[in-house]
């Protein structure tokens, strides 16, 4: 009996290691939209700051050209966070009359999530986008140090039932409308239009005959 037990233990010991990992993977929730957009923002801002390479003693002004757009405050925080990590602590936001060593102006061109149809009924494509137009000038002379656009994108697919999980109700740019799916609706809408038209034509000729 003990030999038989040892045989099965040797044969299937790997199964006891794999099974927990399998169930952990299948039970994991998808990464939420805000986390993905945070990663995109971190990458974009890091590229911008790397290109500027500001001195830690410099005073900076960050000015947004899209102050009324959702996500503006969130993006300003990413600028401040990244600059603090570089040792830059003299940072002002949207103070047009202040004198600073460096002025960073940015405009949000694209920020949000888009859902796309897929061939699988239970899956939907997810595309997260962030693009910024950025211009940096010297505060004293107004000399343009650089002007460029920065684009980051992430794409994958999620279960349709998980859409409400990946969205964040406090950030509108993490939400999007689902696309109309081809299927029953594709055929029922033309049928309704055809039936309505046929009914109108029938009533028209019947009234004329009376």
For the chain, how big is the Rg over CA atoms in Å? 28
pLDDT digits (tens, 9 = 90+) for 64-102: 998 888 899 999 999 999 999 999 999 999 886 668 999
The pLDDT value given to residue 157: 95
- Neighbouring CB atoms inside 10 A of 94's CB total 12
Give every CB contact of residue 29 below 8 A, 6+ residues apart in sequence: 162, 165
- Domain at 31-179: CATH architecture: 3-Layer(aba) Sandwich (3.40)
Q: Which two tokens stand for residue 43?
A: 């990458």
Is residue 2 predicted with pLDDT exceeding 90?
no
3-17, 27-41, 48-62, 169-183: range with lowest mean pLDDT: 3-17
Is residue 200 predicted with pLDDT exceeding 60?
no
Q: Which two tokens stand for residue 25?
A: 């993977």
pLDDT digits (tens, 9 = 90+) for 109-129: 999 999 999 999 899 999 999
Determine the Cα–Cα distance for residues 176 and 115; give it in Å rounded to an integer: 7
Domain boundaries defined on the chain: 31-179, 181-210
pLDDT digits (tens, 9 = 90+) for 17-37: 444 433 433 447 899 999 999
**pTM across the whole model:** 0.72
| Contact yes or no for 137/3 (Cβ under 8 A) | no
DSSP 72-117: HHHHHHHHHHHHHHTT--EEEES-TT---SEEEEEEEEEEEEEEE-
């Amino acid at each position: 009996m003990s030999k038989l037990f040892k045989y099965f233990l040797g044969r299937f010991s790997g199964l006891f290691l794999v099974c927990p990992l399998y169930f952990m993977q299948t039970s994991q929730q998808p990464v939420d939209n805000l986390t993905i957009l945070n990663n995109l923002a971190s990458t974009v801002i890091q590229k911008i700051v790397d290109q500027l390479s500001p001195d830690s003693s410099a005073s900076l002004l960050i000015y947004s050209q899209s102050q009324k757009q959702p996500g503006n405050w969130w993006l300003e925080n990413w600028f401040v966070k990244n600059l603090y990590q570089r040792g830059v602590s003299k940072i002002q936001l949207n103070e047009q009359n202040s004198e600073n060593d460096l002025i960073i102006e940015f405009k949000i061109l694209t920020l949000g999530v888009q859902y796309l149809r897929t061939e699988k009924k239970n899956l939907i494509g997810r595309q997260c986008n962030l693009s910024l137009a950025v211009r940096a000038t010297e505060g004293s002379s107004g000399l343009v140090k650089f002007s460029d656009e920065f684009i980051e994108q992430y794409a994958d697919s999620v279960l349709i039932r998980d859409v409400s999980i990946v969205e964040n109700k406090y950030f509108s740019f993490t939400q999007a409308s689902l696309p109309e799916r081809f299927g029953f609706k594709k055929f029922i809408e033309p049928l309704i239009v055809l039936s309505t038209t046929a009914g109108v034509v029938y009533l028209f000729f019947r009234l004329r005959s009376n």
